[in-house]
Amino acid sequence: MPRQVDYDSRRRQIVAAAFALISERGLEGVTMRDVAARAGVSVGAVQRSFPSKEEMMVATVEDMNERVSARVQGRIAGSADPDSAATMLQHTLAGIMPHDEPTLAESRVWLAFAAHAAVTPALAAVQRKQYEGLAELVALLLRTAQAAGDVRSDIDTDQEAGALIALTDGLNMQILMGRHTPDSALATLDRRLAALRPAE
């Protein structure tokens, strides 16, 4: 029963199953058997694609990171005013926050891995790298918006980028905990962004 399916697509299928299970039950609720069942394949097939569970998990983190990045990219590209750095900034940060069930699932997975990374240095390094890219993007957008006069010039863009990302992450958590709705969290973020504009 050899090569009848494309390997990449099977790996994606398995990762998608792992992703769904993590979002529903957390990291500890994921077993190889469950992943195989959810993906509609046998455990052996999963083992063929991922020699160990850890490799499967790593692929799942990467998939999650790519999902978020792709979504943010998409929002930026599809934005009404793609040339405005201020608009791109709003789309970037708002794009990270969940607003429907698929993105809520994404956030749950993100939180699960974040918690895991706190006690797993190898994972922490991966996450830190992802954040570094985001922080640089946000800082760049802030600087560009600053040059366009859309952001106050007395703002340290690197510091502000860190603060905005922290706020976004915190809002993210509060949404998952049910202390914020996606709408109210987005409103808080927008209020914060509005405060960056120069006084008229």
Partner DNA sequence: AGAGATTCGATACGCTCGTATCGATACGAA
Partner DNA sequence: TTCGTATCGATACGAGCGTATCGAATCTCT
Binding residues for a copy of itself (CB under 8 A): 23-29, 108, 111-112, 114-120, 124, 127-128, 131-132, 135, 159, 162-163, 165-171, 173-174, 176-180, 184-185, 187-188, 191-192, 195
What's the closest the beta carbon of residue 43 comes to DNA, in angstroms?
5
42 binds, among DNA, a copy of itself, none (CB under 5 to 8 A by kind): DNA
Strand residue runs (E) in 53-188: none
**Crossing angle (nearest 10°) for helices 101-117 and 7-25:** 80
Binding partner selected for residue 168 from DNA, a copy of itself, none, CB under the kind-specific 5 to 8 Å limit: a copy of itself
Q: Are 96 and 72 in contact (CB under 8 A)?
A: yes
Q: Identify the residue whose tokens are 């106050």.
A: 152
Give residue 152's Cα distance to chain centre.
28
| Minimum CB–partner distance for residue 109 and DNA (Å) | 16
Measured from the CB of residue 161, what is the shortest distance to DNA in angstroms?
Answer: 37
Picking from 113, 139, 142, 132, the residue whose alpha carbon sits closest to that of residue 69 is 132
For a copy of itself, the closer CB: 82 or 133: 133
End-to-end CA distance of the chain: 71
Nearer to DNA, 34 or 63 (CB): 34
Per the CB < 8 A criterion, the answer to whether 75 and 91 are in contact is: yes
Interface positions, 21-60, toward DNA (CB under 7 A): 30-34, 41-45, 47-49, 51-54
Does the protein bind DNA through residue 120 (CB under 7 A)?
Answer: no
Give me 150's structure tokens. 């859309």
Closer CB to DNA, residue 120 or residue 184?
Answer: 120
Secondary structure element (H or E) that encloses residue 20, with its range: helix 7-25
Pick 15 or 105: Cβ nearer a copy of itself: 105
61 binds DNA (CB under 7 A): no
**Whole-number Å distance between alpha carbons of 86 and 145:** 5
CB of 150 to DNA, least distance (A): 49
